[in-house]
Chain A
Amino acid sequence: MTALIEVRDLAVTFGSGRQQVRAVRGVSFDVEQGESFGLVGESGSGKSTVLRAICGLAPMTGGTVHIGGKPLKTPRDPAFYQQVQMVFQDPYGSIHPRHTIDRVLSEPLAIHGFKDAETRIERALEDVGLGRGFRFRYPHQLSGGQRQRVAIARALILEPQILLLDEPTSALDASIQAEVLNLLDALRVDKGLTYVLVSHDLAVVSHMCRRLLVMQHGQAVEELTRDALQARAATKDYTRQLLVASEGFKAP
């Protein structure tokens, strides 16, 4: 069986000449259908750039990405956007400040020519635990957690198979984080979604993902399973350092 997402030797380079930045250097991984796959690393390790390259926001300068066995086209076609959607890190920056939630959710439906916009919008809001009362609000009338729910609803409204999650909870406070993570987990099981989750937080990744890839300086360090992570069975120094760092404060 082939994997749903196949990334081979992905490279992303920004700029040219002396200002060249090689953000991602030959990263490969596979994600199975229905799986939740984690990308972990410190800031600047290129993990978000991998997501952005997959969905066409960053230029792929090398390697290949296959989704469902088919190579990606550049520029991406409408069918791709119906298959793959992304949730951004900062819910305060990812929703247009002058559009109502209704507009945010109805626009993708209009672009792809869906007829049953009314029912889809209401169902999407229902799915992410926001009632109808939220439909005609502006983003500034919502809290951070509510905004992130709207962002998830927007990503789900086209009924994609794959959701790319770029640190979906790092801008939220701890209690809201748990709510959003549980929501994402429930949605994955419900709708049979496949996740690629980027995070610097090992706790979040080990909660959400069965397998994960550790990245540093744009390169893959090692691939681990959740069990190995929880057993502290890392083989590389860098992963061990990350594990120690994630244990946080311990009384001496």
Chain B
Amino acid sequence: MSDVTTRDWLLSDRPASRRQARLGQAYRTWSQLRRNKLAMVGLSIVVVLILMAIFADVIAPYDPIVGGDLRTERLLPPSWTHLMGTDDQARDIFSRIVHGSRLTLMVVALVAVIATPIGLAVGTTAGYFGGWVDVVLMRITDIFLAFPRLILALAFVAALGPGIENAIIAIAITSWPPYARLARAETMQIRDADYIAAIRLQGAGSARIIWGHVVPLCLSSVIVRVTLDMAGIILTAAGLGFLGLGAQPPQPEWGAMIAGGRRFMIDFWWVATMPGIAIFVVSLGFNLLGDGLRDVLDPKGET
């Protein structure tokens, strides 16, 4: 009963307050997303990742850094005591993967938080003003785009020293140019629209127009792009970890774990495979979610 009334309240034609209108809009987007099965699979993977990161201490049965008995518990195959086996330091791989989700999530969240605003700001500013502002900003973007991503990340890590924080900064600095390009293209479509002319006629300044009117319309495609890029970001972080330039041992970073397992790949397959599966599943989750979001958030779909 109360379910029905809440739903009616959310879908009301004539919302009575700002909050109701906004919640109603969010609910509509959500129910549209819910119809997409694959997107829901992606979303549940991401939610599980987040829960895993939050409750890592509760979920993980062993300590991720201090191993067991080095004489008897090294490189054990998967079993009920060690779900994913143990590595060469006698550490439980499942516990390490659970704790590693924190690092992965931190990488993903920080890169999104750093790169998205930079890309949006550069792209919308360039697109809105055009002229020489556009030329200068886009040439800077081109310079960043022309660098191979992993190599530039390597250079930054080499300059700033290895470590997960520097890897994050390096990835963030190299991942904003595509967002700037995307935001610029969207902005150039929007900037001549009548509703932008209308707000300009109300006397709004450029900052207000860009922030309040252009950015909300670019945001959805950028969010979709960021979500789709998450897989690449995780892989780059893992790649840096694998090369020894990201997370440093004994941190349970998935890429570094693969690198550690590489030496026993033939005889003890699970050491490298388990974190590989984790990277694969999480990347797939973000990709599926991004695809679903693209269908829902595409601003051209609605008028």
Q: Enumerate chain A interface residues (CB-CB to B < 8 A).
A: 55-57, 78, 81-82, 85-86, 88-90, 92-100, 102, 107-108, 111-112, 133-134, 136-141, 151, 154, 158
- On whether A81 and B201 interact (CB within 8 A), knowing A88-B194, A136-B14, the answer reads yes
Residues on A with C-beta less than 8 A from B217 are 97-98
Complex-state Cα separation, A134 to B200, whole angstroms:
24
B→A interface (CB under 8 Å): 13-18, 20-21, 25, 193-195, 197-204, 208, 212-213, 216-217, 299, 302-303
Contact in complex: A136, B216 (CB < 8 Å): no
| B15 A107 Cβ-Cβ under 8 A | no
**Known contacts A97-B303, A136-B15; A108/B195 CB under 8 A:** no
Q: A90 — which chain B residues lie within 8 A by C-beta?
A: 194
B195–A94 CB distance below 8 A? yes
Asked if B201 and A57 sit within 8 Å, CB to CB, the answer is yes
**CA of A40 to CA of B197, assembled, Å:** 22
Contact between B216 and A98, CB atoms less than 8 A apart: yes
Q: How far is the CA of A94 from the CA of B21 in the complex (A)?
A: 20
The residues of A that contact B17 with a CB separation of less than 8 Å are: 136
Q: With A107-B212, A136-B14, A136-B18 as given contacts, are A93 and B195 in contact (CB-CB < 8 Å)?
A: yes
For residue A92, give the distance in angstroms from its CB to the closest CB of chain B: 6
User: Secondary structure at chain B's binding surface: helix, strand, loop or mixed?
Assistant: helix
- Complex formed: what's the CA distance from A182 to B204 in Å? 30
- DSSP class of A's interface residues: helix, strand, loop or mixed? loop
B18 cross-chain contacts in A, Cβ below 8 A = 100, 102, 136
Name the contact of A137 in the complex, choosing from B15, B194, B212, B299 (C-beta under 8 A).
Answer: B15
Which of B193, B199, B299 touches A93 (beta carbons < 8 Å)?
A: B193
Closest Cβ of chain A to B221, distance in Å, is 13
Interchain Cβ contacts under 8 Å between A and B, 25 examples: A55-B201, A57-B201, A78-B203, A81-B202, A82-B203, A86-B197, A88-B197, A89-B194, A94-B197, A94-B198, A97-B195, A100-B18, A107-B199, A107-B202, A107-B212, A108-B202, A136-B14, A136-B20, A136-B21, A137-B15, A137-B21, A138-B21, A139-B303, A140-B303, A154-B202
Asked whether, in the complex, the Cβ of A100 is within 8 Å of the Cβ of B203, the reply is no
Residues of A within 8 A of B299 (CB): 97-98
Contact present for B201 and A85 (CB under 8 Å) = yes
A88 to chain B, nearest CB (A): 4
B13 in contact with A141 (CB, 8 Å): yes
**Residue ID in chain B nearest A102 by CB atoms:** B18
A111 CB contacts on chain B under 8 angstroms? 202-204, 208
Contact B203 A112 (CB under 8 A): yes
A8 CB to nearest B CB, Å: 23
Which residues of the other chain, B, contact A85 by a CB distance below 8 angstroms? 201-202
- The closest CB in chain A to the CB of B17 belongs to A136
Q: A110 → chain B, closest Cβ, in Å?
A: 9
Question: Contacts of A100 on B, CB cut-off 8 Å?
Answer: 18, 21
Q: Is the CB of B213 within 8 A of A96?
A: yes
State whether A93 and B203 are in contact (beta carbons under 8 Å apart), knowing that A98-B216, A136-B17 are contacts in the complex.
no
Smallest CB gap from A95: residue in B: B195
Task: With CB as the reference atom, state the residue of chain A lying closest to B199.
Answer: A107
A140 and B14 contact, CB distance less than 8 A: no
Most buried by B among A93, A136, A137, A151: A136
Chain B residues near A112 (CB-CB < 8 A): 202-203
In the docked arrangement, what's the CA distance between A138 and B20, Å? 12
CA distance in complex: A125, B197 (Å): 22
